Amino acid sequence: MIIRLAGENSDWGYRRIHGELTRLGHKLAASSVWKILRAAGIDPTRDRTGPTWIEFIRSQAAGIIATDVACVDTALLRRFHVLFVIEVHSRRVHLAGITTNPSGPWTTQAARNFLMRFPDDHGFRFLIRDGAGQFTRSFDDVFAGSGITSIRIPPRAPRANAYAERWVRTLRHELLDRTIIWNEKQLRALVVEYIDHYNSNRPHRGINQRAPNDTADVVPIRPSHPIQCRSVCGGLINEYRPAA
40 versus 200: the higher-pLDDT residue is 200
Tell me which range, 42-56, 139-153, 221-235, is most confidently predicted by mean pLDDT: 139-153
CA distance 83 to 29: 50
228 versus 126: the higher-pLDDT residue is 126
Q: Same domain for 79 and 193?
A: yes
Q: Is 47 inside any structural domain?
A: no
pLDDT for residue 44: 63
Q: Is 203 inside any structural domain?
A: yes
Task: Say if residues 53 and 182 touch (Cβ distance below 8 Å).
Answer: no
Q: Is the pLDDT of residue 215 over 80?
A: no
Q: What is the mean pLDDT of residues 233-243?
A: 30
Q: Same domain for 118 and 69?
A: yes
118 versus 109: the higher-pLDDT residue is 109
pLDDT for residue 218: 44
User: Above pLDDT 70, what percent of the chain?
Assistant: 82
Q: Same domain for 119 and 27?
A: no
- Domain of residue 24 covers 2-39
pLDDT for residue 11: 66
- Listed residue (163, 164, 105) closest to 135, CA to CA: 105
Q: Same domain for 190 and 227?
A: yes
Q: Is the pLDDT of residue 231 over 60?
A: no
235 versus 80: the higher-pLDDT residue is 80
pLDDT for residue 216: 54
What is the DSSP-derived secondary structure letter of residue 224? Answer: P
Task: Say if residues 57 and 64 touch (Cβ distance below 8 Å).
Answer: yes
183 versus 60: the higher-pLDDT residue is 183
| pTM higher than 0.95 | no
Q: Is 99 inside any structural domain?
A: yes
What SS3 state is found at 243?
Answer: coil
pLDDT for residue 176: 94
